[in-house]
């Protein structure tokens, strides 16, 4: 993965900024200080490419944007491009994280967080990777929020929408199968796995390059079974079946990507309603454009409109069905919350955002989607691979939890003894390719004693 970084400039950079030619030490926060880590590669290579691609996109689409947002946006675009270039320079020279001073809704939370990092731990490569990456995307959004004409512009929207449009054949195949599916334990596991592997379509891991889906989707899902290295799907089923039948069953989705993955969220949510495992499914979405492909409320609404207006009958039918679920409050968009675009790990939610914690506690199950949510669940921390999920959650237990994640960062917990070591023998980069998946579950009342790995 280091091939994209020029060796000579890399050595000069490492020497100047005190980079250590090591992997992240055990039980340490992951950060760009360790050259052999995915954090270093992300900060040195992936994130600068992302910022450059946004500048290129604005430059290429400048005339279209002026047509949409007005002539005054032309001057503001030039100013924003300058701000993005400065942010890229700050990232590439390990500058300290600046406080926010505009009209950002969450600036006090962010400024307090940055202040609490303390000297020596508040620059891009020396702070925790999670904090640095979240900061970059939050700072990027602030440039647009503080403009007059471009405050509503989602600079990732076209990529997210194209990703869905290019998945139409796959979507049609899935809906044709889903339409006639019976509600059994096997079919539920299939829906969970479809949703899990939808997380492979993540534009941030490819710095915005499209991920093409090929082949029959359910054949692909079944063929990936040996790639699921932790599979607690049986526990998820038992949890939903055993809930109090006199109390409305709520499932919360903490969403990840828009596009194809959000569609698979809808498919799983539809199954939960159809099977009567849930009375309501609530979708928690991002308040701002985030990590390239993360789903915002606009993406959610656009997806429903896209399906409802499609010429393929079954896409139209399901688009209208899911819109009806919204109208009937079977599907619900959660209240907008900036906690999801904060740098905080979830174990801090109880103290930082007690109202959100209390709302989530009312659900029967929370499904956390994707790699970033996983990183926030267990922290960007070098846990032992065999450490238990409950230990790594550090007390975050509002209700029953399930994490569906394709592995795209070099942290994980809950593996069997020797399992990670065997996988490293097969592929030394197995933790960062998105090739492997985990379905991890933890019951609020009882901790699972075994998993089918």
What is 36-91 written as a DSSP string? TSHHHHIIIIIHHHHHHHHHHHHHHTHHHHHHHH-THHHHHHHHHHHHHHHHHHHH
Residue 250 and residue 388 share a domain: yes
pLDDT for 8 equals: 60
What is 103-168 written as a DSSP string? S-TTHHHHHHHHHHH-TTS-BTTTSBHHHHHHHHHHHHHHHHHTSSSSTT--TTHHHHHHHHHTTH
Which tens digit of pLDDT belongs to each residue from 229-267? Answer: 999 999 999 999 876 777 789 999 999 999 999 999 999
Residue 225 and residue 263 share a domain: yes
With both helix axes pointing from N to C terminus, report the angle between 157-165 and 260-274 in degrees, rounded to the nearest 10.
60
Last residue of a domain, one of 93, 116, 145: 145
426 CB-contact burial (10 Å; exposed 0-12 / middle 13-18 / buried 19+):
exposed
Residue 110 and residue 201 share a domain: no
DSSP letter at 346 equals G
Residue 276 and residue 128 share a domain: no
Predicted TM-score of the model (pTM): 0.94
Last residue of a domain, one of 115, 145, 175: 145
Angle (nearest 5°) at CA 271 between 266 and 273:
95
Residue 47 lies in a domain: yes
Residue 126 and residue 165 share a domain: no
Residue 262 and residue 136 share a domain: no
Strands 365-369 and 250-254: parallel
Strands 400-406 and 365-369: parallel
Q: Which two tokens stand for residue 447?
A: 């901790």
Residue 292 lies in a domain: yes
Domain residue limits at 82: 2-145
Angle (nearest 5°) at CA 234 between 230 and 235:
85
Last residue of a domain, one of 145, 168, 184: 145
Place of tokens 């093409």: 212
Residue 172 lies in a domain: yes
SS3 99: coil
CB 304, CB 297: distance < 8 Å: no
SS3 435: coil
Place of tokens 């270039």: 85
Q: Which two tokens stand for residue 263?
A: 């569609």
CB 317, CB 309: distance < 8 Å: no
Which tens digit of pLDDT belongs to each residue from 34-93? Answer: 999 999 999 999 999 999 999 999 999 999 999 999 999 999 999 999 999 999 999 999
pLDDT for 447 equals: 47
CATH code at position 236: 3.40.50.10880
| Distance in angstroms (rounded) separating the CA atoms of residues 339 and 360 | 13
Residue 120 lies in a domain: yes
| Distance in angstroms (rounded) separating the CA atoms of residues 283 and 297 | 9
Residue 133 and residue 166 share a domain: no
Residue 161 and residue 131 share a domain: no
pLDDT for 243 equals: 67
- If one counts the domains in the chain, the total is 2
Place of tokens 């899902």: 221
pLDDT for 214 equals: 58
pLDDT tens-digit profile, the chain (453 residues): 444 456 667 889 999 999 999 999 999 999 999 999 999 999 999 999 999 999 999 999 999 999 999 999 999 999 999 999 999 999 999 999 999 999 999 999 999 999 999 999 999 999 999 999 999 999 999 999 999 999 999 999 999 999 999 999 999 999 999 999 999 999 999 999 999 998 875 444 344 445 455 567 888 888 899 999 999 999 999 999 876 777 789 999 999 999 999 999 999 999 999 999 999 999 999 999 999 999 999 999 999 999 999 999 999 999 999 999 999 999 999 999 999 999 999 999 999 999 999 999 999 999 999 999 999 999 999 999 999 999 999 999 999 999 999 999 999 999 999 999 999 999 999 999 999 999 999 999 754 444 444
Residue 449 lies in a domain: no
Residue 447 lies in a domain: no
62-82 burial, b for 16+ CB within 10 Å, e for fewer? eeebeeebeeebeebbeebbe
Q: Which residues contact 22 (CB under 8 A, 6 or more apart)?
A: 34, 35, 36
SS3 394: coil
**Which helix (H) or strand (E) segment is 406 a member of?**
strand 400-406
| Distance in angstroms (rounded) separating the CA atoms of residues 266 and 249 | 17
Residue 124 and residue 83 share a domain: yes
Residue 213 and residue 101 share a domain: no
pLDDT for 199 equals: 82
Residue 161 and residue 141 share a domain: no
CB 31, CB 129: distance < 8 Å: yes
Residue 223 and residue 357 share a domain: yes
SS3 250: strand
Residue 62 lies in a domain: yes
pLDDT for 201 equals: 56
Residue 453 lies in a domain: no
Place of tokens 């992951």: 30
Q: Which of 28, 420, 103 has the alpha carbon at shortest distance from 230?
A: 420
Q: Which two tokens stand for residue 41?
A: 């590669």
pLDDT for 269 equals: 98
Q: Which residues contact 11 (CB under 8 A, 6 or more apart)?
A: none
CB 209, CB 419: distance < 8 Å: no
SS3 282: strand
Rg (CA), the chain: 22
pLDDT for 449 equals: 42
pLDDT for 393 equals: 97
| Distance in angstroms (rounded) separating the CA atoms of residues 62 and 149 | 13
């Amino acid at each position: 993965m280091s091939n994209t970084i020029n060796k000579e400039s890399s050595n000069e950079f490492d020497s100047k900024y005190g980079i250590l030619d090591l992997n992240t030490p055990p039980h340490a926060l992951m950060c760009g200080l360790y050259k052999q880590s995915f954090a270093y590669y992300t900060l040195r290579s992936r994130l600068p490419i992302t910022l450059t691609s946004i500048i290129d996109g604005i430059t290429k689409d400048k005339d279209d944007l002026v047509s949409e947002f007005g002539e005054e946006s032309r001057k503001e675009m030039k100013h924003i491009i300058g701000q993005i270039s400065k942010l890229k320079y700050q990232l590439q020279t390990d500058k300290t994280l600046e406080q926010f001073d505009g009209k950002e809704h969450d600036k006090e939370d962010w400024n307090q967080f940055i202040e609490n990092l303390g000297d020596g731990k508040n620059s891009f490569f020396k702070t925790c990777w999670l904090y640095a990456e979240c900061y970059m995307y939050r700072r990027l959004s602030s440039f647009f929020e503080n403009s007059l004409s471009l405050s509503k512009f989602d600079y990732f929207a076209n990529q997210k929408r194209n990703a869905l449009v290019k998945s139409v054949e796959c979507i049609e195949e899935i809906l044709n199968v889903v339409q006639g599916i019976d509600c059994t334990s096997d079919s539920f596991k299939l829906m969970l796995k479809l949703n899990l592997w939808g997380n492979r379509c993540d534009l941030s891991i490819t710095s915005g390059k499209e991920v093409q889906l090929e082949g029959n989707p359910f054949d692909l899902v079944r063929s990936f079974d040996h790639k699921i290295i932790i599979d607690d799907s049986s526990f998820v089923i038992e949890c939903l079946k055993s809930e109090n039948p006199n109390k409305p069953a709520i499932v919360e989705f903490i969403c990840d990507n828009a596009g194809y993955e959000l569609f698979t969220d809808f498919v799983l949510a539809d199954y939960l309603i159809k099977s009567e495992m849930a009375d309501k499914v609530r979708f928690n979405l991002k308040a701002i454009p985030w990590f390239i492909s993360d789903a915002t409320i606009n993406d959610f609404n656009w997806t429903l409109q896209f399906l409802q207006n499609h010429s393929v009958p079954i896409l139209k039918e399901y688009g209208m069905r899911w819109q009806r679920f919204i109208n009937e409050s079977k599907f619900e968009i959660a209240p907008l919350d900036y906690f999801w675009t904060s740098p905080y790990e979830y174990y801090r939610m109880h103290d930082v955002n007690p109202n959100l914690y209390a709302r989530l506690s009312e659900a029967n199950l929370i499904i956390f989607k994707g790699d970033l949510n996983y990183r926030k669940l267990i922290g960007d921390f070098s846990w032992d691979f065999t450490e238990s999920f409950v230990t790594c959650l550090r007390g975050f237990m509002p209700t029953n939890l399930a994490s569906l994640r394709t592995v795209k960062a070099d942290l994980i917990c809950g593996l069997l003894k020797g399992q990670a070591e065997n996988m490293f023998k097969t592929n030394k980069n197995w933790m960062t390719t998105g090739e492997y998946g985990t379905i991890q579950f933890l019951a609020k009342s009882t901790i699972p004693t075994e998993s089918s790995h």
